[in-house]
């Protein structure tokens, strides 16, 4: 019999529907609530990605951290049964502490293979991303609400014999916070998947921090180039957020791949056309170690049993060793230039299947 007693969050006036905070307003098994952080070294030597998510209708909480050093990706993942105290953001050796909402968080991992203790401090206010909707036929498969933010990071990271002192001068942090409905493992495509196969998907998610401003660019396109998500917003503290029109991105790929080497984002402000130049520093495929589809060893929301923890290292020197990575999203730390300023951030990119504007004709199509 279900235990319907109040949970700790029911003490606070935060309810949106006449339900306990133990429950979400939808019965969809794919309901989720999670975050992702990027901690990047300005030289490209290290890229740390970490996150935590809960899946209320599956009763699962999980978290992960990956650190790319050279061609080695260190990964720690943990999963457990979701408890009643949603303010305790901890799974196995991984934890996130909200010290000051929207301002300061502590990020920790206490594992023998990968450890870090970092304070993430916002420099710019959190920015809403466009409301994200995606359907397969008539069925809503994704509806997400997200905000993005950039800040400084300070503390230490250790993996094996490597140890880094993280300082605001030489490192940048970005984060994304999202919730809603999003496919998790076990989703059956059924007839809709058969009647509406995915022909192509092209995605760019690009938060960039400069000394005095923050830029967010996001686009999603179908196989024929139809854009279902598009935004470019410049944030300057003390100023009104400025929309920079319809972003158009030119990507230079490594020959024989869809792996970007550099990119130029044309920002269509009619009063002052601008170009955001991106130089790739380090790359981390989210389908390797981080649990994003189509990972074949672990994905977010999967029930792995109580108190599950997994740690491993991946060799990324040979792309053929991880063939599924090409069909998922990759996060690239990058150095950016805009209006004579240099900044740092993430160029997250995924392109698979047909994409007419890029000249890709199918899933096996790559750059010349």
pLDDT bucket at 4, cuts 50 / 70 / 90: confident
Our count of domains for the chain comes to 1
pLDDT per residue as tens digits for the range 320-362? 899 999 999 999 999 999 999 999 999 999 999 999 999 999 9
Per-residue pLDDT at 1:
45
The Cα–Cα gap between 179 and 185 comes to 17
Longest CA span, the chain: 63
Per-residue pLDDT at 196:
86
Reduced to 3 states (helix: H, G, I; strand: E, B; else coil), residue 356 is helix
Say what the pTM is: 0.96
The average confidence (pLDDT) of the chain is 95
Check whether 89 has a pLDDT greater than 80.
yes
Domain annotation covers residue 44: yes
What domain range includes position 343? 32-181+197-358
Domain annotation covers residue 156: yes
pLDDT bucket at 198, cuts 50 / 70 / 90: confident
Domain annotation covers residue 63: yes
Domain annotation covers residue 344: yes
CATH number at residue 213: 2.40.370.10
Question: Of the ranges 2-6, 190-194, 287-291, which is most confident?
Answer: 287-291
Q: Report whether 188 contacts 344 (CB < 8 A).
A: no
Domain annotation covers residue 7: no
Judging by beta carbons within 10 Å of its beta carbon (0-12, 13-18, 19+), is residue 23 exposed, middle or buried?
A: middle
Of the chain, the percentage scoring pLDDT greater than 70 comes to 99
Long-range residue pairs from 295-300, CB within 8 A, at least 24 positions apart, any chain? 295/324, 295/328, 296/324, 298/77, 299/184, 299/185, 300/32, 300/34, 300/53, 300/55, 300/62, 300/64, 300/184, 300/185
Q: What is the mean pLDDT of residues 277-295?
A: 97
> Dihedrals φ, ψ of 36, to 5°?
-140, 140
Q: What is the mean pLDDT of residues 147-160?
A: 97
> Dihedrals φ, ψ of 225, to 5°?
95, 0
pLDDT per residue as tens digits for the range 255-284? 999 999 999 999 986 677 899 999 999 999
Of the chain, the percentage scoring pLDDT greater than 90 comes to 90
The Cα–Cα gap between 82 and 193 comes to 30
Check whether 3 has a pLDDT greater than 70.
no
Domain annotation covers residue 226: yes
Per-residue pLDDT at 319:
86
Domain annotation covers residue 5: no
Domain annotation covers residue 24: no
pLDDT per residue as tens digits for the range 33-65? 999 999 999 999 999 999 999 999 999 999 999
Tokens read off for 154: 């300070």
pLDDT bucket at 115, cuts 50 / 70 / 90: very high
Tokens read off for 171: 């490192």
């Amino acid at each position: 019999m279900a235990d319907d007693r109040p949970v700790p969050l029911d003490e606070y006036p935060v309810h949106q529907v006449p339900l306990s905070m133990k429950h979400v307003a939808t019965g969809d098994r794919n309901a989720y609530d999670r975050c992702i952080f990027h901690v990047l070294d300005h030289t490209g030597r290290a890229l740390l990605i970490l996150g935590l998510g809960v899946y209320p209708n599956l009763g699962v909480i999980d978290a992960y951290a990956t650190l790319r050093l050279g061609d080695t990706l260190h990964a720690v993942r943990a999963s457990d049964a979701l408890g009643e105290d949603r303010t305790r953001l901890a799974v196995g050796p991984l934890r996130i502490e909200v010290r000051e909402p929207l301002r300061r968080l502590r990020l920790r991992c206490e594992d023998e293979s990968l450890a870090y203790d970092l304070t993430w401090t916002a420099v710019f206010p959190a920015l809403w991303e466009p409301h994200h909707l995606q359907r397969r036929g008539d069925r809503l498969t994704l509806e997400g609400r997200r905000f993005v933010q950039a800040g400084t990071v300070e503390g230490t990271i250790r993996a094996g014999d490597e140890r880094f002192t993280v300082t605001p001068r030489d490192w940048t942090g970005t984060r994304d916070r999202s919730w809603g409905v999003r496919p998790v493992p076990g989703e059956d495509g059924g007839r809709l998947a058969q009647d509406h196969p995915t022909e192509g998907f092209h995605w760019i998610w690009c938060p960039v921090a400069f000394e005095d401003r923050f830029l967010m660019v996001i686009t999603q396109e179908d196989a024929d180039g139809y854009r279902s998500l598009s935004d470019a917003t410049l944030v300057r503290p003390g100023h009104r957020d400025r929309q920079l029109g319809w972003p158009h991105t030119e990507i230079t790929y490594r020959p024989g791949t869809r792996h970007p080497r550099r990119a130029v984002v044309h920002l269509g402000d009619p009063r002052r056309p601008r170009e955001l130049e991106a130089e790739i520093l380090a790359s981390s495929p989210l389908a390797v170690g981080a649990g994003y589809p189509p990972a074949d060893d672990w994905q977010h929301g999967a029930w792995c049993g109580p108190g599950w923890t997994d740690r491993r290292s991946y060799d990324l020197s040979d792309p053929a060793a991880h063939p599924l990575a090409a069909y998922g999203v990759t996060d690239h730390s990058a150095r950016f230039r805009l209006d004579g300023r240099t900044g740092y951030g993430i160029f997250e990119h995924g392109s698979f299947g047909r994409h007419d504007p890029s000249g890709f004709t199918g899933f096996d199509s790559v750059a010349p």
